Structure 1
Amino acid sequence: MSDREQFLISEEPYYREVHKEIELYEAAYAVRMPLMLKGPTGCGKTRFIEYMAWKLGRPLITVACNEDMTASDLIGRFLLDANGTRWQDGPLTTAARIGAICYLDEVVEARQDTTVVIHPLTDHRRTLLLDKKGELISAHPDFQLVISYNPGYQNLMKDLKQSTKQRFGALDFDYPSADIESEIIAHETGLEQEAASKLVQIAHRGRNLKGHGLDEGISTRLLVYAGQLVAKGIDPKAACQMTLVRPLTDDPDMRDTLDAAVSTFF
């Protein structure tokens, strides 16, 4: 299997379009525009980019960014082996070489001195300098850089620099409308529409508490987890407590409030 083939998505991921984002992405990819996906945790950003990579027939390399990630983690480094040292490409370098879509998930979690290495790949140069190796890579014609982050978590101490933001087009994502989200839950879990709709109503109660005791609302991803447990025969109230309440907060009063919302529907 070639490097390119191992990163191809073989089966179609389920994705429900909300606001013509598929058409917009296809146009952006046609001109290889770097893209920024902005939206809350678990609202479908990663699923969207997986679907688009499948639809376009392009390899996808995903990097989960974190505060300890260095430029070498993205670009590559020399490693020791039995024969001495050898160069190991990082995921960004691999993507640039083979013409993959490189998806940097939650990019603001990475240090700013790390994210600046992507700048030459996001303008007319489309190059990547491997300074430790003394090599300048010209990105494959199919290469595209996509980043994502959750604006709700950002503050003055942790945000993208304007010099980085203005290298990207942007698509806003949010939780779908109630009917579409119910459809997604039913499709992903096999639940009846009525049960899926109840889960979505609980989520809406929880999302109204964001900024009033909760840092983040109940995500579509968590609703899928709850639906999967219910579909396996778990009591709906217990399933919701496990997936929609306990992961979000340890505050006793907030747990009671969310538990009451669950009891309203189940």
Structure 2
Amino acid sequence: MSDIDRDQYLIKEEPYYRSVHNEVEMYQAAYDARMPVMLKGPTGCGKSRFVEYMAWKLQKPLITVACNEDMTASDLVGRFLLDINGTKWQDGPLTVAARIGAICYLDEVVEARQDTTVVIHPLTDHRRELPLEKKGELLKAHADFQIVISYNPGYQSLMKDLKQSTKQRFGGMDFDYPATDVETEIVTHEGGVDKETAEKLVQIAQRSRNLKGHGLDEGMSTRLLVYAAQLVAKGIDTQSACQMALVTPLTDDPDMRDTLSAAVNTYF
């Protein structure tokens, strides 16, 4: 499929990303070595934005796949489809990425079944190839191709984890919620609010993160803080904005909602 429009997968405008440590340099080196990369961290902490930013910085196409438990190997690789002229092969996103030299980003990869994720194995070692068995083709990956996967270690279980045979094909990078000053800067920029409001939102989030494992599966993410800030910037009062963006999405437990609402009331 040489007729694929590579440009449609390019990130045209620079995504806002605030580097925290040396992750940009580390990823750059990993890409230069075409090392598969695994991003580990809690939901909404900036993993996907980081991949978008690096794809823009490197000027490489980016193909993102949101993994789920119903996803089959054919969904990734491709399948024959019927049309008026008979059957026609259609590449899946993984195959398209390997053909055109894109970064293929498998988001929340542990959501996919293990029998699905094994299809990436020959692309993530020295072979860098993808057998298209149904089509009878052995696809050699483009020189620019790279696989990036992400997942949230907080949701790991015996049933939902990556096999060691998969994990040990990747270099790993840990992500977490940023330090207070950095997160405040992000919320100010992305949410369009003043620094004081952003600081208060970050403090509420930090309180909620202390409750992880004590009634909450996850604390408030940076993404949710940006949502709350955007509502405030649109003229919604802070109490209502926090209720909608920070409290209601996080839990259905009435007592925990009261606890989170009390934290909101402390700062607003």
- The answer, yes or no, to whether TM exceeds 0.5 is yes
Aligned to 1:45: 47
CA distance in 2, matches of 1:41, 1:228: 19
Aligned length: 266
SS at match of 1:234: coil
Secondary structure in 2 matching 1:124: coil
Provide Cα deviations, 1:219-261, integer angstroms capped at 9, x if missing partner.
0000000000000110101100101000010100000000000
CA deviation string 1:134-169 (max 9, x = no partner): 000000000000000000000111100000000000
Q: Does 1:216 align with 2:218?
A: yes
Unaligned runs of 5+ in 2: none
**Is the aligned partner of 1:160 residue 2:162?**
yes
Which position in structure 1 is the counterpart of 2:25?
23
| Residue ranges of structure 1 left out of the alignment (5+ in a row) | none
Alpha-carbon deviation of 1:264? 0.4
Look up the match of 1:229. Answer: 231
1:13-59 CA distances to partner (integer Å, 9 max, x unpaired)?
00000110000000000010000000000000000000000000000
Write the mapping of 1:42-191 to structure 2, written as runs, cut at 5 A: 42-191=44-193
TM-score normalised over the length of structure 2: 0.98
Is residue 253 of structure 1 aligned with residue 260 of structure 2? no
1:11 aligns with 13
> Counterpart amino acid of 1:242?
M
Give the Cα–Cα distance (whole angstroms) in 2 for the partners of residues 262 and 170 of structure 1.
35
- Taking the aligned partners of 2:106 and 2:193, their CA distance within structure 1 comes to 33
SS at match of 1:77: strand
Identity %: 79
Q: Do the aligned partners of residues 55 and 124 (structure 1) sit closer, same or farther apart at CA in structure 2, a change above 3 Å counting?
A: same
**Quick one: which amino acid aligns to residue 35 of structure 1?**
V
Q: Give the distance between the partners of 1:36 and 1:252, measured in 2 at CA.
A: 36
For 2:234 and 2:250, the matched residues in 1 are separated by: 23
CA shift, 1:189, in A, is 1.6
SS at match of 1:188: helix
Kindly state the Cα deviation for residue 77 of structure 1 after the two structures are TM-superposed. 0.3
| In structure 1, distance between residues paired with 2:4 and 2:57 | 20
Distance apart, 1:190 and its partner CA: 1.5
Measured after TM superposition, the shift of residue 2 of structure 1 is 5.2
Paired letter, 2:96: T
